[in-house]
């Protein structure tokens, strides 16, 4: 999905200088006040060489602000300590948000070098802040008197969060343990950065070219796949057709090619990324990361890193997460095995393959697509013509308007960080600016895989409550247009667009006097609710009729096709659920170790995920070395959160189904109690206020098995 840019109080940075080369820092486009509309970043002016001096300046400014709080001669109060910390480091937060948003989407070698240079400085500043005994004493004094302060819920949450940030940041540790904490956090930061760089490099390093002389190998492929492959080959100076490990290239080929040899080659390449000797090997990095995380947990008296992480999540404990995973796995594994067996039998009896055919992981997309096409008379090639990208985007915007009264308007005068990006102003129903949404949907070599939302600027407020609205980036790696075809999305890409748009709405609707409690600054196992609930509209005829028209004929997507999509999706729901549970089990295994891992990475993963293994295990492969979510993306001991949020969204969307999928009263309640509240109160309090009761796991089980 996305990488959260933490608010200023949690940002990481270091000591700074006041100039960039011979130019005054005030001329740096990252530092000087923007004269662009809505004070958006002047991306046309920002060059890689501007980032390091901007960070240095912002860090020195933040340090001065923190020092002023620590040395304030007045007795500590909520305003002069907690609120002062909240409002400190605005320049640092802004520079950090811009840099990391751009680096994720356009990681040039120059920006990679900047990241490696600034990361130790950022960690050092974060540690200096949270380990400062003067600051902690002031925060603790206010915290211990909170019962006498008569705080509103948001202020009480801010106080609790600030105190926890210091405690979890090592402020209460002994001097020796504080020093060890510094060492661990600095090393983890650099290892996580290297992990992500290795995955991107390994993904880009492998391509498979099919020469023009082997045209028979692509003859069966749909035109949109062949054209995309031909365009990829042309861009690389190759003849014929080229497949890469980017999802927009890899998935269509795996879905439509019957060539098991080529698909096995691709599948093994994808599932051995960073698993073999070479410059991108992540195996030792994983062992080091998990060992250091364990060491950190022990500093805080926790038996495992998961115990340390989960005390600050909705789930609350390892036992709760394990029980949750087990409940879902027990309820759905039998159905998942039936689905696998059905595809196995189909491949053997339909003439696709022989009677001795064994369904392997690289066969899954192809066989399941053929099965869908025959049993449900539906295939991606039948769906894609109705999902032309421009229409989909306009339809999603229209959905936001129907639900919340908000509108989007393209503004070409807003500068963007890459030519692929389009900027949209967003307004509420009263014409007030909500923020700017930057949409960046196509793959490129410098862009990490997957899809995500992030903040280019968080909500900012001044002492008078005046707001500087958020700038949100929505990124994907979707099917690109070709010389003869527009961008036609797969159904999965369509759902992904809806998902990330849900995150974007969460960010755009940020409100409140404390930016660190606004937007997506919520518990990790709550942040996926606003995104995953949006996917439910993907198969609602009333919504699809608003935009899903055939790009050639203009006819609306027929109900019969929608019914087939739903039926086909329901058929594989249990398999998809168990697959996700396997990822969550792997994550929890890595973060519930009590001793450093010494066995082979693939062996560890195989043993950890065995209960969820429902297709043949392939020796010598593993997903962990490419699992950026947990080793470089902030989801360590938190991947279960995707399924946790599915429970929330299944229960929440049932209210829309009951009252109407465009019901403004329900949508208004969801906005007022979920989207606009951010992390100002405990997520369960917010959820119950919206839904009227706590969510039950059975809601998701029923949805999977229906």
Catalytic residue annotation: 500
What are the Cα distances from residue 321, in Å, to 324, 377, 524? 5, 39, 13
Count of positions (residues) in the chain: 706
| Cβ pair 500, 474 in contact under 8 A | yes
Q: What are 184's two structure tokens?
A: 């661990």
CA 183, 186, 188, 194 dihedral sign is negative
Measured on CA atoms in the order 598, 599, 600, 601, is the torsion positive or negative?
negative
For residue 63 the two structure tokens come to 């340090």
* Beta pairing, strands 19-20 & 452-457: unpaired
Q: If you search the block for the tokens 């202020």, which residue do you land on?
A: 155
How distant, in Å, are the alpha carbons of 61, 62, 153, 495 from that of 116? 21, 21, 39, 34
Give which of 184, 210, 376 is closest to 288, Cα–Cα. 184
DSSP labels, 384-398:
GGG-BHHHHHHHHHH
- Can you read off the two tokens belonging to residue 565? 């999509």
Closest C-alpha among 450, 449, 420 to residue 202: 449
Among residues 602, 637, 639, the alpha carbon closest in space to that of 622 is found at 602
Which is it for strands 471-475 and 433-440: parallel, antiparallel or unpaired?
parallel
List the structure tokens of 229: 């492959």
Spatial separation of the C-alpha atoms in residues 105 and 451, rounded to whole Å:
10
Exposed, middle or buried, 21 (CB in 10 Å: 0-12/13-18/19+)?
Answer: exposed
* Strand intervals (E) in 181-283: 207-210, 241-244
Task: Dig out the tokens for 387 from the structure.
Answer: 């999902």
Q: Of all helices (H) and strands (E), which one includes residue 424?
A: strand 422-427
Count Cβ atoms within 10 A of the Cβ of residue 358 and give its class: 0-12 exposed, 13-18 middle, 19 or more buried: exposed
Structure tokens at 232: 């990829």
Residue 481 DSSP one-character state: P
Phi, psi of 354 (to 5 degrees): -80, 175
Taking alpha carbons only, the member of 403, 420, 406, 367 closest to residue 653 is 403
């Amino acid at each position: 999905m996305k990488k959260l840019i933490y608010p200023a109080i949690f940002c990481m940075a270091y000591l700074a200088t006041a100039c960039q080369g011979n130019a005054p820092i005030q001329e740096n486009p990252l530092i000087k006040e923007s004269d662009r509309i809505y004070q958006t970043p002047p991306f046309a002016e920002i060059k890689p060489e501007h980032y390091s001096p901007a960070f240095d300046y912002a860090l020195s400014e933040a340090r001065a602000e923190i020092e002023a709080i620590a040395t304030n001669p007045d007795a500590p109060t909520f305003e002069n300590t907690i609120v002062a910390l909240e409002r400190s480091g605005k320049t640092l937060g802004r520079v950090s948000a811009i840099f990391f948003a751009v680096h994720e989407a356009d990681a040039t070698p120059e920006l990679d070098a900047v990241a490696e240079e600034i990361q130790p400085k950022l960690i050092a500043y974060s540690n200096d802040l949270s380990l400062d005994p003067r600051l902690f004493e002031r925060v603790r004094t206010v915290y211990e008197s909170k019962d006498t302060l008569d705080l509103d819920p948001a202020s009480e949450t801010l106080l609790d969060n600030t105190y926890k940030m210091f405690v979890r940041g090592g402020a209460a540790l002994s001097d020796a343990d504080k020093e060890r904490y510094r060492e661990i956090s600095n090393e983890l930061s650099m290892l996580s950065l290297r992990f992500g760089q290795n995955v991107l490099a390994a993904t880009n390093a492998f391509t498979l070219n099919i020469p023009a002389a082997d045209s028979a190998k692509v003859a069966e492929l749909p035109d949109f796949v062949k054209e995309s492959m031909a365009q990829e080959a042309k861009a690389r100076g190759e003849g014929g057709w080229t497949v890469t490990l980017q999802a927009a290239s890899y998935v269509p080929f795996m879905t439509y090619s019957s060539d098991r040899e080529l698909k096995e080659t691709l599948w093994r390449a994808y599932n051995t990324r960073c698993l073999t000797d070479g410059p991108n090997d992540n195996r030792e990095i994983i062992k080091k990361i998990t060992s250091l995380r364990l060491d950190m947990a022990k500093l805080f008296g926790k038996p495992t890193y998961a115990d340390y992480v989960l005390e600050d999540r909705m789930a609350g404990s390892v036992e709760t997460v394990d029980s949750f995973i087990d409940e879902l796995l027990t309820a759905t594994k039998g159905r998942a095995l039936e689905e696998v067996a059905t595809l196995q039998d189909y491949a053997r009896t339909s003439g696709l393959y022989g009677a001795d055919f064994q369904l392997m992981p690289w066969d899954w997309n192809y066989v399941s697509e053929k099965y869908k096409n025959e049993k449900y008379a539906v295939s991606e090639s039948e769906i894609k013509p109705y999902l032309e990208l421009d229409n989909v985007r306009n339809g999603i915007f229209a959905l936001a308007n129907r639900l919340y009264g908000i509108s989007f308007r393209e503004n070409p005068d807003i500068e963007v960080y890459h030519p692929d990006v389009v900027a949209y102003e967003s307004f509420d129903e009263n014409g007030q600016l909500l923020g700017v949404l930057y949409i960046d949907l196509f793959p490129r070599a410098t862009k990490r895989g997957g899809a995500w939302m992030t903040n280019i600027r968080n909500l900012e407020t001044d002492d008078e409550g005046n707001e500087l609205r958020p700038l949100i980036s929505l990124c994907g790696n979707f099917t690109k247009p070709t010389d003869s075809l527009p961008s036609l999305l797969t159904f999965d890409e369509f759902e992904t667009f809806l998902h990330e748009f849900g995150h974007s709405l969460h960010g755009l609707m940020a409100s409140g006097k404390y930016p660190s409690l606004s937007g997506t600054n919520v518990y990790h196992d709550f942040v996926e609710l606003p995104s995953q609930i949006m996917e439910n509209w993907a198969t609602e005829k009333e919504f699809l009729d608003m935009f899903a028209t055939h790009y050639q004929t203009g006819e609306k997507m027929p109900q019969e096709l929608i019914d087939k999509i739903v039926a086909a999706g329901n058929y594989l729901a249990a398999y998809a659920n168990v697959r996700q549970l396997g990822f969550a089990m792997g994550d929890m295994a890595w973060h519930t170790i009590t001793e450093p891992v010494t066995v082979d990475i693939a062996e560890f993963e195989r043993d950890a995920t065995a209960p969820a293994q429902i297709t043949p295990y392939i020796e010598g492969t593993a997903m962990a070395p490419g699992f950026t979510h947990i080793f470089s993306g902030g989801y360590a001991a938190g991947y279960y959160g995707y399924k946790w949020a599915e429970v929330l969204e299944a229960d929440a969307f049932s209210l829309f189904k009951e009252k109407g999928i465009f019901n403004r009263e329900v949508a208004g309640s969801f906005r007022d109690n979920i989207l606009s509240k951010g992390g100002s109160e405990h997520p369960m309090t917010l959820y119950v206020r919206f839904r009227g009761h706590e969510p039950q796991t059975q809601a998701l089980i029923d949805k999977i098995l229906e």
